[in-house]
Chains A and B, each alone.
Chain A
Amino acid sequence: MPLSSPLLAMRNIDKRFLGAHALAAATLEVEPAEVMGLVGQNGAGKSTLIKVLTGAHRKDAGTIVFWGKEIEFASPQEAQRGGISTIYQEINLIPYRSVAENIFLGREFRRYGLLDWRRMNGEAAELLRRFAIEIDVRRPLMEFSTAIQQMVAIARAVSFKSRLVIMDEPTSSLDEREVAVLFDVIRQLRAEGVSVIFITHRLDELYQICDRVTVMRDGRTVMVSAIADVDKLHLIAAMLGRDLEAVRQRSTGFRGTSGAAGGEVLAAERLVIGRKVRDARLEVRAGQIVGLAGLLGSGRTEVARAIFGADPADSGVIRLMGKTVSPEEPADAIALGVGFCTEDRKVEGIVPDMSVRENITLALLPRLTRAGIVDEARQREVVGRFIARLAIKTANIEQKVRELSGGNQQKVMLARWLCTDPKLLILDEPTRGIDVGAKVEIQSLIKELADQGLGVLMISSELEEIVEGADRVFVLSDGRTVANLPHAEATGPAIMAAMAHDVGPVSVDGSDRG
């Protein structure tokens, strides 16, 4: 193959679904040993482009040249044999099988017709060591955290000795240390001559790891640039197709702090949950957005789920709306006026085959019912009101929710709780995996709701979101509340310092109130 030509050249790719263009003359080129960032809003065509490349979808027009040959893979398996591995957002591994088995699935080592376990375990352990992960590869995959599982998926892809590795939002479930490890691995791949296509919603990561970036919008490639030549605002502008001025005003949808906070809606003290949470405490008042910060594994989600009754706490005190309670089931917390948007929308949020209408009213339904029969006129009225209020983009209220974009699915989840008129809304990663436009919309909506008196407990891995959005920030580290910061003191460095250094437990009644 001539040295001057790129490793991968996808040109003028067209793909239609039911007549609508998903891709229109899209282009993507990757040089050998290059990390190419691929960004765009949800629905911009990134995933479709990747699926065309790996053979999950057939292209309607265009050419794909890979490693000097024109190719058209029939399936992702064929693409993998051809030198292109993909790591999807949802981890496609078998939870009950061991880590080693998952890595070598489909091409197990054999000796005398039997599986050569020693060799598989040895090589698996060695592969993971490259990622600075030391685990017992004979244990079932499901015993490990999402982050480790993701690393296993990456190790599997790497072990195929691919020329090109595609990573679809690989960092969405990793904490900062793990992201750093992943980036080391990517750099190492690059040093070995492997190219990487890196899809992400986190722009900071592009600057840390990518050589170039390709921006897509509405199925087209709108920008290709060396990452050093483009600043964040220009990137966002290219993704959104908006004027720079409009973007520059603010980076999140939050602005200003709320006025006076009202009465207490939630107080939690001395929470102990399993092995992960040892002494968590926090407090939320009406009209307040309270941020719950912490690294992955610090126990943020566990605290939220305990308050909601999804996975009850082992000990500690939970006070909701002034009443000391021990919610055993979500229904208990819901009855007190609590709503909870899970971090894992697909697995435990939406009911994919149900309509937008039914998904929105899932929690409200008992109240829309008379003598066991659903009042569909009222249901449609409520749904229509919230679709308009949250600007949910859906063909009609009967569209299946799985057909919506991630951002709109998240709005459906918010609508599900808002229509129940809650007093406390717990949001676990409310803007994860959704495009920039919808993200800003959701953030300003959260702000608006808090201004109207809703108490909000917001968990977020994005420091920006916590720093700009929260009126008060509780920081969890290793299952303990280690800091309680009012808005003015909750700067990025302060929060990170708290995450990093265990400064000892802090009282909820801390230095400052309200």
Chain B
Amino acid sequence: MTSARFPLTEAIVVDAQAIARLRASPNVAGFLRRYAALTGLVALLAFNFAVTPNFTTWQTLNVNLTQVATIVIVSVGMTLVIATGGIDLSVGSLMAISGALAPLIFLSPFGRDHATMGIILAFVVPVAVAGLFGLFNGWFITRFRVQPIVATLVLFIAGRGIGQVITNGNLQAFKNPSFQFIGLGRIFGVPCQVLIMLALVAGAAWMLRRTLFGRQILAVGGNEKAARLAGIPVAPVKRWVYAISGLCAGIAGLVVVSINSSSDANLVGLGMELDAIAAVAVGGTPFTGGRATVVGSLLGALLIQLLRYTLLANGVPDAAALVVKGAIIAGAVWSQQRSAAS
């Protein structure tokens, strides 16, 4: 355990506050329930150190982190949406749109002629477009008072269609190292998308905790009527939250197509909304709104990812891993309810 290569150190350090509370609290059982995701993660790590061959390698760490990064990036936006008491089903489809737009831009004649500008636009435009679609979700929800699950279902369905229309349903294969840095590059040996993931998690956690906007998100989720009567601009807060969810999905879409060196609007981000929601649930953010932990969502995503890896590395087939994943979500919700009742 003294190894400097202790995987996932970042994640655990981020929740140092929780550990400090463990020390202060004699109620260990209560802690274990409250921080179920962290507890599960630590237990799983311990198990892997003992059992899984070649677990303590850079290779393992990088494989796990790169696989989980896109889920975490999407979960950041999802956590904020869920904190307002909403849900965003459109994130997977927005990833497909963003992933379809980027290669169109840098493969276009303009992109080829102005390589640098092409790359910059290939980053900025798809993310901005995904953000605008997110804003549309928020507008739809606040303007017509549509239930978020129904409102975002619209782009969940239509978004993937839009992605296919703009690419004529073609798979776009490419090789563009400067663009693909976002999915394949490393900074000081750390994959680029892992750094983006950590920056987004830290930024969102700070935003929720320290800024007016963050507190307003939680107030809207905690009691929308009270928030309105206290003068909080409920509709704009919600619109922005869905826009942020869209931006996060846009970034995740770029990461996925970079890793694959190809973009298929049929497949990019498929099922991502459910993975992100699962991470948020396991992480301990209640779906009723008003409370949220971005770090928890990170831990939740890591727990699900590491569990799958553990089972695969120990010869359990992927199909069985899905069942275990479901069980983990059920267990997380159960432990949340126990801790809410206690």
Contacts and interface: CB of A to CB of B under 8 A. Distances in A.
A243 to B, nearest CB: 39
B229 A330 contact: yes
A334 B233 CA distance: 12
Contacts of A335: 231
B231 A373 contact: no
B197 interface: no
Given A365-B212, A373-B210, A354 B222 contact: yes
Given A350-B223, A352-B223, A354-B222, A365 B215 contact: yes
B223 A351 contact: yes
- Tell me whether chain B's interface is mostly helix, strand or loop, or mixed: helix
Interface of A: 308, 310, 329-331, 334-335, 340, 342, 347-354, 358, 362-363, 365-366, 369, 372-374, 376, 416
B246 to A, nearest CB: 20
Interface in B267-284: none
A330 B228 contact: yes
7 contacts: A329-B231, A331-B233, A351-B219, A351-B222, A354-B219, A362-B230, A376-B210
Nearest to A308: B229
Contacts of B231: 329-331, 334-335, 363, 366
A363 to B, nearest CB: 4
Contact of B291 (A331, A347, A353): A353
B233 A351 contact: no
A432 B17 CA distance: 40
Contact of B230 (A363, A374, A376): A363
Given A331-B233, A363-B231, A374 B215 contact: yes
Q: Which of A353, A363, A373: most chain B Cβ within 10 A? A: A353
A372 B212 contact: yes
Interface of B: 210-213, 215-216, 218-219, 222-223, 225-233, 290-291
A347 B232 CA distance: 16
Given A353-B222, A354-B222, A354-B290, A348 B212 contact: no
Q: Which of A340, A351, A363, A416: most chain B Cβ within 10 A? A: A351
A477 B253 CA distance: 61
Given A352-B222, A353-B222, A354-B290, A362 B211 contact: no
Contact of A369 (B212, B230, B233): B212
Given A353-B222, A354-B290, A374-B210, A340 B229 contact: yes
B54 to A, nearest CB: 44
Given A334-B231, A363-B230, A348 B223 contact: yes
B229 A351 contact: no
Contact of A374 (B211, B225, B228, B229): B211
A348 B215 contact: no
A228 B267 CA distance: 79
Contacts of A330: 228-231
B226 A349 contact: yes
Given A351-B226, A352-B223, A353-B222, A362 B232 contact: yes
Contacts of B218: 351, 354
